[in-house]
């Protein structure tokens, strides 16, 4: 995989460099609530600009239906990128149309532009190779060189991620190089003990990574909504908690396999419950009750791990040399159910372990709960990409950069 430093050594002054970034940030209207993904691509964009490239930044945001939708415009992200770079960033109001062509043509050496949301074009996400390729052809007309730096999208076989690199000289940006290097530390010559913390809503999203990590991890800690499928698999009542009944047999199989392999599976011993889901907009007091994990009332929903579990999980992480964490322990967006996620974050922040926060809601939680990002070994920008890498899958966006 060619690095950006090799590309810079060849010279990029005067060249149009297409940077496939991941600016898929959460928005409240037009206000960015977490700019972590924008900050992550700044080193690549800044270095290219300093070297005299004419930088064209492109990304997706949200899930528009292959047509322009103002709710998913990249304009706020472009403005924030300009603030972080300390320079004006031009913005094209389309992706490959008249505005994009004119905006790119107007760039001078060292200037940066952002084109509109790639997913406003149906060809970006099309499953039809010809349609996707046709869109990649249009994108290729905007640039001389391609730099892949949108790690959060490398598990997608999309035009700007997979097809475009085949049409241009290409290299990996600093973010992708860092992310891949970190993930190799979680899969090759891992420092032990190796603990994995998995949370989030759906156990089905994590079965692949559990399957793969059973051969590598020393212990796996489970929280979040997915914990209730594990508790159900042990024969416990879970009330009206989030449950994937169809996954119970698979979970039972993993629990048995873990026992055979000597991998410690750690499940909640107590949980916070309530009769209804909390109001996340007003943050009205929820008045949760703490119950044993094997005694959840039939009319109650588990919404966070309890204090005993917080202490248990902290103790299980205390001696770890390597930790991978993906997924919150509860509904962390509400202060009454943020305790479990905060406890895991605190345990890692105060640890000597090489700790990796695996993107998505986990990364957002670290920032929302006010932790210093430098207290962790690495905070990934790509939850889904990280998980698929750890599952042992070939990621299309990385494969496209390797030839």
The answer to the question of whether 302 is labelled as a binding residue is: yes
Distance (Å, whole) CA 133 – CA 329 = 41
Same domain, 165 and 270: no
> Structural domain of residue 200, as residue ranges?
181-389
> Would you say the pTM of this structure is higher than 0.85?
yes
Same-domain check for residues 71 and 199? no
Whether residue 195 sits in one domain with residue 127: no
* 80 carries a ligand binding annotation: no
- What pLDDT is recorded for position 327? 93
Q: Is residue 397 part of a domain?
A: no
The pLDDT value given to residue 283 = 86
Q: Structural domain tally of the chain?
A: 2
**62 annotated to bind ligand:** yes
> Could you tell me if 202 and 121 lie in one domain?
no
The verdict on 164 and 193 lying in the same domain is: no
Give the pLDDT score at 162: 98
DSSP string covering 72-108, please? G-SHHHHHHHHHHHTS-EEE-SSSSSHHHHHHHHT--
Length of the chain: 403
Residue 54 known to bind ligand? no
Do 20 and 88 have their domain in common? yes
Helices (H) and strands (E) in the chain, counts: 14, 17
Integer Cα distance of 31 and 24 in angstroms: 13
| Annotated binding residue 117 | no
Both 309 and 331 in one domain: the answer is: yes
> C-alpha angle 145/149/151, rounded to 5°?
145
**What CATH number has the domain bearing residue 331?**
3.40.50.1260
395 domain-assigned: no
Helices (H), 238-382: 248-261, 307-317, 339-349, 360-368
Q: Among the three residues 173, 206, 227, which one is the final residue of a domain in this structure?
A: 173
Consult the annotation and say whether 23 binds a ligand. Answer: yes
Q: Are residues 81 and 210 in the same domain?
A: no
Residue 362 assigned to a binding site: yes
Are 277 and 379 in the same domain?
yes
Residue 144 located in a structural domain:
yes
Domain assignment present for 402: no
Same domain for 273 and 340, yes or no, is: yes
For residue 378, the model assigns a pLDDT of: 92
Same domain, 96 and 238: no
* Last residue of one domain, picked from the residues 138, 173, 208: 173
63 labelled binding-site residue:
yes
Q: Catalytic residues, which ones?
A: 37, 202, 360, 384
Per-residue pLDDT of the chain (403 residues; tens, 9 = 90+): 999 999 999 999 999 999 999 999 999 899 998 898 999 999 999 999 999 999 999 999 999 999 999 999 999 999 999 999 999 999 999 999 999 999 999 999 999 999 999 999 999 999 999 999 999 999 999 999 999 999 999 999 999 999 999 999 999 999 999 999 999 999 888 999 999 999 998 888 889 899 999 999 999 999 999 999 999 999 999 999 999 999 999 999 999 999 999 999 999 999 999 998 888 888 888 889 999 999 999 999 999 999 999 999 999 999 999 999 999 999 999 999 999 999 999 999 999 999 999 877 888 899 889 999 899 999 998 888 998 999 889 999 999 999 7
List Cα–Cα distances, 82 to 23, 134, 194, 322, in angstroms. Answer: 13, 30, 40, 36
With respect to residue 403, please indicate whether it lies within any of the assigned structural domains. no
Using alpha carbons, select from 311, 313, 299, 303 the residue that is nearest to residue 277.
303
Query: Has residue 303 been placed in a domain?
Result: yes
Q: Which residues have C-beta within 8 Å of that of residue 181, sequence separation ≥ 6?
A: none
Q: Is 359 annotated as a binding residue?
A: yes
Annotated binding residue 121: no
Domain presence at residue 146 = yes
> Are residues 160 and 195 part of one domain?
no
Residue 399 lies inside a defined structural domain of this protein: no
Residue 57's beta-bridge partner residues?
A: 19, 114
> Where a domain ends, among 107, 140, 173?
173
Q: So what's the pLDDT on residue 381?
A: 87
């Amino acid at each position: 995989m060619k690095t950006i430093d090799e590309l810079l050594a060849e010279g990029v002054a005067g060249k149009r460099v297409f940077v496939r970034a991941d600016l898929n940030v959460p928005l409240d209207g037009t206000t960015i609530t977490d700019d972590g993904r924008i900050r992550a691509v700044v080193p690549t964009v800044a270095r290219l600009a300093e070297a005299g490239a004419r930088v064209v930044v492109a990304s997706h945001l949200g899930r528009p239906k292959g047509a322009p939708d103002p709710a998913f415009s990249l304009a706020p992200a472009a403005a924030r990128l300009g603030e972080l770079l300390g320079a004006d960033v031009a913005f094209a109001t389309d992706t490959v149309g008249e505005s994009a062509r004119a905006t790119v043509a107007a760039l001078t050496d060292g200037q940066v532009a952002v084109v509109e949301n790639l997913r406003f074009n149906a060809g970006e996400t099309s499953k039809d190779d010809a349609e996707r390729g046709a869109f990649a052809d249009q994108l290729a007309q905007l640039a001389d060189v391609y730099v892949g730096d949108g790690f959060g999208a490398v598990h997608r076989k999309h035009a700007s991620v997979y097809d475009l690199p085949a049409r241009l000289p290409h290299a990996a940006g600093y973010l992708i190089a860092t992310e891949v290097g970190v993930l190799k530390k979680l899969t090759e010559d891992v420092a032990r003990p190796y603990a994995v913390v998995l949370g989030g809503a759906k156990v089905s999203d994590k079965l692949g990574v559990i399957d793969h990590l059973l051969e590598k991890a020393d212990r796996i800690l489970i929280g979040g909504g997915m914990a209730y499928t594990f508790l159900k698999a042990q024969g416990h009542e879970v009330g009206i908690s989030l449950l994937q009944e169809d996954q119970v047999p698979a979970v039972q199989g993993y629990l048995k396999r873990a026992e055979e392999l000597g991998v410690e599976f750690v499940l909640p011993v107590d949980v916070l419950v309530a009769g209804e889901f909390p109001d996340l907009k007003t943050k009205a007091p929820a008045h949760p009750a703490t119950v044993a994990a094997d005694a959840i009332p039939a009319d109650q929903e588990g919404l966070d791990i309890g204090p005993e579990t917080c202490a248990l999980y902290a103790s299980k992480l205390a001696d770890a040399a390597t930790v991978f964490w993906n997924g919150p322990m509860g509904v962390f967006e509400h202060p009454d159910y943020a305790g479990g996620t905060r406890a895991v974050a605190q345990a890692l922040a105060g640890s000597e372990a090489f700790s990796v926060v695996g993107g998505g809601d986990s990364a957002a939680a670290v920032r929302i709960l006010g932790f210093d990002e430098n207290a962790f070994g690495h905070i990934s920008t790509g939850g889904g990409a990280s998980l698929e890498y750890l599952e042992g899958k070939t990621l299309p966006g990385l494969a496209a950069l390797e030839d």
